[in-house]
């Protein structure tokens, strides 16, 4: 069964699919739950190209908090001209992307 965060991610991916947007879901862990490589720790759950702009979406439940590594990825994305959002619902994605 999907986790609450996984269900939110699925709803967001359904929205992005419905809008025909180009995105990919990050999977930085192997089947044993170990990071594939240290640099991948904290990568946003969903990355997308939107109007020529890289956007990182870190999906959290209403009470979830981003890790220091996730926040560092967000800072790096923004420092290089992209955008980073911590989102907790489809509505927050719609607002962030102005869909």
Q: Where are the domains of the chain?
A: 4-97
Q: Which CATH architecture has domain 4-97?
A: 3-Layer(aba) Sandwich (3.40)
Average pLDDT, the chain: 90
What per-residue string of b and e applies to 18-29 under the rule 16 or more CB within 10 Å gives b?
Answer: eeebebebbebe
Between residues 29 and 87, the one the model is more confident about: 87
pLDDT at 26: 80
Supply the pTM of this predicted model.
0.88
The stretch 45-72 carries a mean pLDDT of 95
Q: What is the rounded end-to-end Cα distance, in angstroms, of the chain? A: 30
Share of the chain above pLDDT 90, in %: 74
Note whether 83 and 77 are within 8 A (CB). Answer: yes
Structure token digits, residue 85: 């959002």
């Amino acid at each position: 069964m999907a986790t609450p965060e996984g269900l939110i991610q699925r709803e967001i991916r359904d929205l992005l699919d419905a809008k025909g947007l180009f995105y990919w879901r990050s999977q930085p862990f192997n089947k044993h739950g170990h990071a594939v490589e240290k640099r991948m720790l904290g990568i946003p759950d969903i990355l997308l190209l939107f109007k020529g702009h890289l956007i990182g979406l870190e999906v959290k439940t209403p009470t979830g908090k981003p890790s220091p590594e996730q926040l560092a990825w967000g800072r790096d994305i923004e420092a290089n001209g992209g955008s980073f959002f911590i989102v907790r619902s489809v509505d927050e994605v719609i607002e962030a992307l102005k869909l």
